[in-house]
Amino acid sequence: MKSRLKYYNRWKKKAKNVKVLFIAESPPKDKSKYFYFEDTEIKGSSLSAHLFRALKIDKKDKETALEDFISKKYFLMDAIDDPIFENGKLKSKKKQISNNLEHINKEIDKLRPKKIIVIGKCVYDILSKQLDVKLDFVYFPTHWKIKGKEKTGTELFYEELKEKI
Per-residue CA distances from 133 to 79, 126, 152 (Å): 15, 13, 28
Cα Rg of the chain (Å, integer): 15
Other residues' Cβ atoms within 10 Å of the Cβ of residue 58:
11
Give pLDDT, residue 49: 87
Q: Is the pLDDT of residue 41 over 80?
A: no
| Predicted pLDDT of residue 147 | 79
d(CA 95, CA 28): 18
| Per-residue pLDDT reduced to its tens digit, 116-149 | 999 988 899 989 998 889 999 998 888 778 878 8
Task: Give yes or no for residue 155 having a pLDDT over 60.
Answer: yes
Percent of the chain with pLDDT over 70: 95
Q: Is the pLDDT confidence value at 84 over 80?
A: no
Whether the pLDDT of residue 44 is over 90: the answer is no
Walk me through the domains of the chain, giving residue ranges and CATH numbers: 4-164 (3.40.470.10)
Which of 71, 75, 83, 68 shows the shortest CA–CA distance to 8? 75
The model's pTM: 0.89
Reply yes or no on whether the pLDDT at 109 is more than 70. Answer: yes
Please list, in sequence order, all residues whose beta carbon lies within 8 angstroms of the beta carbon of residue 129, skipping any fewer than 6 positions away. none
- Give the pLDDT score at 90: 53
